[in-house]
Amino acid sequence: MPSPIRVAVTGAAGQIGYSLLFRIASGQMFGPDQPVILQLIEIPAEPAMKALAGVAMELDDCAFPLLAGIEMTDDPAKGFKDAEWCLLVGSKPRGPGMERADLLKDNGKIFVGQGKAIDENAADGAHVVVVGNPCNTNCMIGASQCKRIPARNWSAMVRLDQNRAASQLANKTGATVNDIGDLFIFGNHSPTMYPAFGLAQINGKPAPQVVSDDAYLQGEFCETVGKRGAAIIAARGSSSAASAASALVDHVRDMLTPGAIHSVAVQSEGAYGFDPNIWAGLPVKTTTPGEYEVVTGLDLSDEFSQQKLAATNAELTGERETVADMLG
């Protein structure tokens, strides 16, 4: 058995935390042979730490063979100490009628402090994944405050959108999600995101050819994927949690699997016309565990794709202006 890795999770007593921690501790994120020490971070205000103690009791009660330790704290400096993976979930979710960007003023400042705490405490070469919304811009804020760890090690989660898009295409065509390939999310985790159906394959054939309904793909498909989070809030009364946790498991596992290609919001270097230094959803190929390259050169030159890319880029650059005073 390798030595345990330290995994810090913020918002550990929240809804996503309640699904996520058990998936990590059972080995689904880091593999069936990799022990983990969970460093769980919450806020001091009641009832967070008390609820967290209850979650830790349940983790104990699962007797997971790979769970080598549980630490709980409301101090980010302790929580991120020597962490190799920092999963930043803790922040406010939106309620009905809100957009994720409405959370920016409240949630953005969390990532100023956490970026600094990671800078000062996490392991060299740590990887950070931001889930708390609006996750692309929160990730940019955190990375800007953290000079010791390279910005390319900071990613934000658009994998839930990729998974949603795959299920929509599978349901529409009678295929299974296993039959869907090359389906990537470009841009912001917001209704402007572009699930680039023109690149996707269904059983090895171009998705537009199989679906044979461009109006559906450009209209209902993009709209359903882009607004799925709001539909879940309207139905459940609170935002997606188990599916978000599952997407985070997929995100990290694929980042550790050489050859995997998946949608990740990473720092733009200008590919596909995204402004440099925003965090944009892009197709990313894992080269070695934890390292990646952006897949460039995919053909998105058609007018519809160009409009969608421009709209999501404009939203991300607008968010960057809104948080200019939070950037380090």
- Give the residue numbers marked as catalytic: 189
Closer to ligand LMR at the Cβ: 138 or 286?
138
Task: Quote the CA–CA distance of 6 and 83 in Å, as a whole number.
Answer: 5
Among ligand LMR, ligand NAD, none, what binds residue 90 when CB lies within 5 to 8 Å by partner kind?
Answer: ligand NAD
Q: Does 156 bind ligand LMR (CB under 6 A)?
A: no
Task: Quote the CA–CA distance of 175 and 115 in Å, as a whole number.
Answer: 42
**Looking at 7, 8, 9, 16, which residue binds ligand NAD (CB under 6 A)?**
16
Among ligand LMR, ligand NAD, none, what binds residue 132 when CB lies within 5 to 8 Å by partner kind?
Answer: ligand NAD
Q: Does 127 bind ligand LMR (CB under 6 A)?
A: no
- Measured between alpha carbons, how far apart are the two ends of the chain, in Å? 40
Number of residues that bind ligand LMR (CB under 6 A): 10
> Residues near 51 by Cβ (< 8 Å), separated by ≥ 6?
13, 42
Q: Does 160 bind ligand LMR (CB under 6 A)?
A: yes
Q: Does 121 bind ligand NAD (CB under 6 A)?
A: no
Please state the closest distance from residue 206 (CB atom) to ligand NAD, in A. 27
SS3 86: strand
Phi-psi region of 120 (alpha: psi -120 to 50; beta: other; left: phi over 0): alpha
Q: Does 90 bind ligand NAD (CB under 6 A)?
A: yes
Among ligand LMR, ligand NAD, none, what binds residue 15 when CB lies within 5 to 8 Å by partner kind?
Answer: ligand NAD
CA 274 to each of CA 60, 98, 244, 264, 267: distance values in angstroms, whole numbers, following the listed order: 45, 26, 25, 14, 10
Please state the closest distance from residue 286 (CB atom) to ligand NAD, in A. 20
In one letter, which amino acid is 320? R
Among ligand LMR, ligand NAD, none, what binds residue 16 when CB lies within 5 to 8 Å by partner kind?
Answer: ligand NAD
Phi-psi region of 174 (alpha: psi -120 to 50; beta: other; left: phi over 0): left
Please state the closest distance from residue 156 (CB atom) to ligand LMR, in A. 11
Stretch that binds ligand LMR, among 19-27, 31-39, 137-145, 224-232 (CB under 6 A): 224-232
Q: Does 240 bind ligand NAD (CB under 6 A)?
A: yes
Q: Does 89 bind ligand NAD (CB under 6 A)?
A: yes
Please state the closest distance from residue 91 (CB atom) to ligand NAD, in A. 4
Q: Does 67 bind ligand NAD (CB under 6 A)?
A: no
Task: Quote the CA–CA distance of 82 and 86 in Å, as a whole number.
Answer: 10
Task: Quote the CA–CA distance of 326 and 145 in Å, as a whole number.
Answer: 9
**Best CA proximity match to 285, nearest among 277, 293, 275:** 293
Please state the closest distance from residue 33 (CB atom) to ligand NAD, in A. 28
Residue 51: other Cβ atoms inside 10 A: 16
Q: CA angle, corner 244, sides to 219 and 84, nearest 5?
A: 130
**Looking at 240, 268, 277, 313, which residue binds ligand LMR (CB under 6 A)?**
240
**Best CA proximity match to 214, nearest among 297, 282, 299, 302:** 302
Query: Any idea how long the chain is?
Result: 328
SS3 149: coil
In one letter, which amino acid is 298? L
The footprint of ligand LMR (CB under 6 A) covers: 93-94, 100, 133, 160, 229-230, 232, 239-240
The footprint of ligand NAD (CB under 6 A) covers: 10-11, 13-17, 41-43, 48, 89-94, 110, 131-133, 135, 157, 160, 189, 239-241, 244
